[in-house]
Structures are given as C-alpha cells and as structure tokens.
A = this chain, B = another copy of it.
Amino acid sequence: MTESPPTIGVFDSGFGGLTVLRALIPRLPRARFAFIGDTARLPYGSKSRRTIARYAVESAQFLVREQGAEFIVIACNTASALALDAIQDAVPVSVLGVIEPGAAAARVASTTGDVLVIATDATVQSHAYRAACAAQNLRAFEKACPLLVPLVEEGWVNHRVTDEVIRIYLGELTAEAKADGLKPDTLVLGCTHYPLLRQNFERAVPHGVKVIDSAESTAEAAARLFNGHAHSPSDTQSGCPIQPGDEQTSLGWAESDTSDEAEIQIKCFATDSVEKFERLGSRFLGRPTGNVELVDLGG
C-alpha cells in the first residue's frame, strides 16, 4: 500500500499567489497542492483587519477540512500582514506567511542593513515589511507601486511602458530613501504579482543592488518548515503521486502530461471569476492551471 502524498494548501485573495505556488513546486516535488483564490471578495486591501481575518480563516479552513491540507502557505501580503495569527489559531496545521521570509532573505542579502520594499498600497500602509525588517535589524523604506499589478495583469511584462514605469518608481524610491539617510543595497519585491517583473527590476536597479523575490524566499522557508515539522522525514520520502484511476485523481487533481512533471498535482479553486483566473493564472503559475473549480465560502 502506498501512502497519499502530503497536501500543501496555498491561499491568496486573488491569483497573484500562484507565483508562490510556482516557486513551491520544484522544492516540494512529491506534494500535492491545493490553491484557493478568494476572488469574489478581493481586494482585501481596503477592508478592515477583522473582515480580512474572517475571510482568510474561511479559506484556510476550506483547504484543511475540504482538501486535507497539512500545511498552509498564505501567499497574500495583506492576509499575511493582518490575519496570520487568526489563521494559526483557527487551523490545526502549520501556517506560513510571505512577509517574514522576504525580510529574512533581505537580512542575508544586505550588507548596509538598509533595504527598499515595493508593494501594493495596502501592504505599505500596514508597514508589515518595516516591522518584519526591524525584527531582522534592517531599516526598510517602503513604497507603493500601484501601476505594477495592472501592468502585469494586462500582460505588458516585456514592454517599454512597464520598463519606464519601473524606472520612474525606482528613481523616486531611491531618492526618497536617500533623503531619509538610508543606503539601500537590497530591493524586496513585496507583492505576489512582482515576480513576473523580476528580470525588469534586475535590469533597472543600480549596480550592486540585490533583488529579493519574496515568492522564492517564501517557498524556500516553506520547504524547510514542511520537511522539518509537518511530516516526518519518512512520510515525506515515502510520499508518491496518486496513480491514474485513483479516487483523488477523479476528484479533479490536474497532472502534468510531461514525463519530467508527471508527479506535479495541482488543484485550483476560486470564489468568483473562474474565467479570468484560468486566463491569467497560467502566466503566474508558469503552466496551465487546469480547470478551476468555483467554491462558495459565503458572503
């Protein structure tokens, strides 16, 4: 008898968090992944902490109770900033957010101890990165870059307009940080959409400035935590993909059809906008999302 592979639950308010799932896949190749985007209730950024916590807890409970997730990654900056404690209290599995791993990676990268963080307006207003960086003895200068998410969603990634917008934002950010007396040598991409612009940023930053992709940092932290805590080593090692014809496959787990990726099993859920999720999600995931299933988590 073969044991079922472990299931990792990944949650976002939208589908940007698929960049975190994309980074998780090669690090946990024997896992199954259940991703839910709470698209009916986005954006979380304008809502109260209490409301965001309620929404995020409902998604996490769905992943644990309905999908059997043994580990939860909150691939959403707003929910990580405002609801991580509430989610940890609400589910009996380990929960990891995206903010601390980004700050920890910046600690390793930075020599001056001064870092730049770009994110959405809601994340910047929460100052969650500033707090997480301070806990790492880093000074962080945060800036909202509201045009980058719509540019990514429009598909203008390799586009002169996007490069010009990045050049303008980086110029403002660097000047503002220097005016505050900082000597930044590290830039944290603090939004789950931004990994698609990582190469644009690497081309645009001043010489010597390192770019931290918080999706990658989170995936690395998740792999360490999951292998260390959520499963015993023997469980992880013995985990293997479900065979065709198995009950779980019939529940809709998408399997890649290339031999290299035969073990990758992903199931995506959304609370609304399944069409947009499927259309745009593959760009973030780097492979087709498969059929996205609509779920109702309530109002």
Name A residues whose Cβ lies closer than 8 Å to a Cβ of B.
39-40, 42-43, 46-47, 146-147, 149-151, 153-154, 156, 161, 164-165, 168, 272-273, 276, 299
Contacts and interface: CB of A to CB of B under 8 A. Distances in A.
Contact of A47 (B46, B146, B154, B272): B272
B146 A147 contact: no
A276 B153 CA distance: 23
A42 B43 CA distance: 8
A151 B156 CA distance: 14
* Copies of this polypeptide in the complex: 2
Smallest CB-CB A-B distances: 9 pairs: A150-B150, A46-B273, A147-B150, A46-B272, A146-B150, A299-B299, A146-B154, A161-B164, A147-B154
Contacts of A161: 161, 164-165, 168
Contacts of A168: 161
Nearest to A299: B299
A156 B147 CA distance: 10
Nearest to A121: B276
A43 B272 CA distance: 13
A165 B42 CA distance: 26
Contact of A151 (B40, B147, B272): B147
A43 B46 CA distance: 11
A46, A146, A154, A168 interface centre (most CB from chain B within 10 Å): A46
Nearest to A276: B46
A242 B262 CA distance: 74
Contact of A46 (B40, B153, B164): B40
B146 A153 contact: yes
Given A43-B43, A46-B276, A147-B154, 14 more contacts: A39-B46, A40-B46, A40-B47, A42-B46, A46-B273, A146-B150, A146-B153, A147-B156, A149-B150, A150-B150, A161-B161, A161-B165, A164-B164, A299-B299
A150 B299 CA distance: 27
Nearest to A144: B154
Nearest to A165: B161
A113 to B, nearest CB: 31
5 contacts: A43-B43, A46-B272, A147-B156, A150-B150, A164-B164
Contacts of A149: 150
A147, A276, A299 interface centre (most CB from chain B within 10 Å): A147
A43 B40 CA distance: 10
